């Protein structure tokens, strides 16, 4: 933008200077030529009276003293003064017409000196090109210097103006980037020049509206969480009233998982717009969640293969988010495959840090479109794989669907290393 402003101002100023200085330069040249011709004309005319009243010897001396470049052609054919040819203008002057014309090297001026009966003689003077252009070169240099100075001043002023515009634009872009990072308290300067200030005011209004919408969303989620906690408490009481301790513990663990999910939703809503921080041990989380689902796997006659290393595998995902992702993957196996379908869970370290989680089953497989948010073929919400995908991408990884060794679905999820 700054360069374009400078180019525009430079081009405009150059055109104005050319339109102003070029005619002025031509005028200076014409004035200098007219001045030289006028001076030569005055000198030549001063000899007119001498031609009629002075003899040839005295007239010759007067011509040399007044104008060494002047020549006097007398009616008897003689010539006094400077050596010059009897040109066509001289012949025309003998017929009573004074004139001037351009000749090689300068300008020729002739005057008729008339007598009572006929022309007594013709005075011819010559103005060389040096006198016609005397001082023109210096004047043109001054005009050129003036044009350069005016162009430089205009560029300096334009540069200062462009700097202020560019500075305001950069500041406006910085505010938009801060808002994109979730810094909703960022505001633009509404007093910026011209339209930039209008855009800044509109951006501030948009930021305020976004903050209001997020506030309303948090309040809605908080209200929903309170409504969900009441039936969860009733489920917990029903679980504790069961006669079988194992069933009570299993249902109670499920209620706790739902409670954690609700709490996680609230926490995510509260930190919306803030970059996620922290990490977790993927090996520990995967081991815990697989142990939780193994009970259900036994009830549904599923063989489960588990390959989780003992050592810690730190990843850039919060523990609650990673637990929700693992639960979504394992829950899909139970939801989309019939009872008795085997599956395996494998966790390995990535080159350069992080971890790779693979969940493969022997079921009928899953359409790749199911990874899109809201897509599902079993009447569910279709958010499971999308939650896993977004969690992986936020951790610097990704999600890939493939065919397992049994012909079913293979889901490979990669998580980046913890900072």
The number of folded domains in the chain is: 2
> For residue 75, what are the domain limits?
55-128
Residue 320 lies in a domain: yes
| Residue 148 maps to a domain | no
Q: What is the CATH number of the domain that holds 94?
A: 3.30.450
The reply to whether 11 falls in a domain is no
92 within a domain of the structure (yes/no)? yes
The pLDDT score that the predictor gives to residue 373 is 43
CA distance 220 to 140: 79
Q: Which of 81, 96, 128 is the last residue of a domain?
A: 128
- CATH number, domain of 354, equals 3.30.565.10
Give me the chain's average pLDDT, please. Answer: 82
Q: What is the pTM for the complete model shown? A: 0.45
Does 368 fall in a domain? yes
In a domain, 180, yes or no: no
pLDDT at 287 over 90: yes
Q: Is residue 240 assigned to a domain?
A: no
Contacts 24+ apart (CB under 8 A), 303-306: 303/342, 304/342, 304/343, 304/344, 304/345, 305/342, 305/343, 305/344, 305/345, 305/346, 306/344, 306/345, 306/346
Single residue among 94, 128, 162 that ends a domain in this structure: 128
pLDDT per residue over 164-202, tens digit each? 777 888 888 888 888 888 788 888 888 877 788 888 889
pLDDT of residue 23: 92
Q: Put the strands of the sheet holding 409-415 in their side by side order.
A: 304-307, 343-349, 355-361, 409-415, 398-403
Q: Is residue 216 part of a domain?
A: no
Single residue among 128, 144, 173 that ends a domain in this structure: 128
């Amino acid at each position: 933008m700054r360069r374009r402003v400078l180019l525009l101002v430079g081009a405009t100023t150059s055109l104005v200077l050319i339109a102003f200085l070029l005619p002025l330069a031509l005028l200076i040249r014409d004035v200098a030529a007219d001045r030289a011709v006028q001076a030569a004309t005055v000198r030549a005319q001063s000899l007119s009276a001498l031609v009629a009243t002075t003899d040839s010897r005295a007239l010759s001396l007067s011509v040399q003293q007044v104008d060494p470049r002047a020549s006097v052609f007398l009616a008897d054919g003689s010539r006094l003064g400077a050596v010059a040819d009897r040109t066509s203008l001289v012949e025309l002057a003998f017929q009573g017409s004074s004139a001037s014309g351009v000749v090689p090297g300068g300008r020729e001026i002739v005057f008729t000196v008339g007598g009572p009966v006929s022309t007594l003689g013709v005075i011819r003077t010559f103005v060389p090109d040096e006198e016609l252009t005397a001082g023109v070169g210096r004047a043109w240099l001054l005009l050129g210097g003036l044009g350069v100075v005016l162009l430089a001043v205009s560029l300096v002023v334009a540069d200062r103006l462009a700097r202020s515009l560019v500075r305001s634009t950069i500041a406006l872009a910085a505010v938009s980037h801060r808002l994109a990072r979730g810094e909703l308290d960022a505001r633009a300067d509404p007093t910026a020049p011209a339209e930039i200030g209008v855009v800044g005011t509109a951006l501030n209004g948009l930021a305020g509206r976004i903050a209001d919408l997020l506030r309303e969303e948090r309040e809605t989620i908080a209200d929903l969480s309170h409504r969900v906690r009441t039936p969860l408490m009733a489920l917990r009481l029903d679980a504790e009233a069961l006669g079988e301790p194992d069933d009570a513990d299993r249902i109670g663990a499920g209620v706790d998982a739902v409670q954690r999910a609700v709490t996680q939703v609230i926490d995510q809503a509260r930190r919306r717009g803030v970059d996620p921080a922290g990490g977790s041990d993927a090996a520990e989380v995967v081991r815990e969640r697989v142990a939780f689902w193994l009970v259900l796997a036994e009830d549904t006659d599923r063989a489960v293969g588990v390959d989780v290393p003992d050592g810690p595998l730190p990843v850039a995902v919060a523990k609650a988010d990673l637990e929700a992702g693992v639960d979504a993957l394992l829950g899909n196996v139970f939801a989309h495959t019939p009872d008795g379908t085997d599956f395996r869970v494998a966790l390995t370290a990535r080159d350069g840090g992080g971890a790779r989680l693979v969940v493969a089953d022997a079921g009928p497989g899953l359409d790749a479109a199911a990874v899109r948010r809201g897509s599902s073929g079993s009447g569910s919400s279709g958010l499971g794989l999308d939650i896993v995908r977004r969690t992986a991408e936020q951790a610097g990884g990704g999600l890939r669907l493939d065919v397992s060794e049994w012909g079913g679905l293979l889901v490979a999820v990669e998580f980046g290393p913890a900072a």
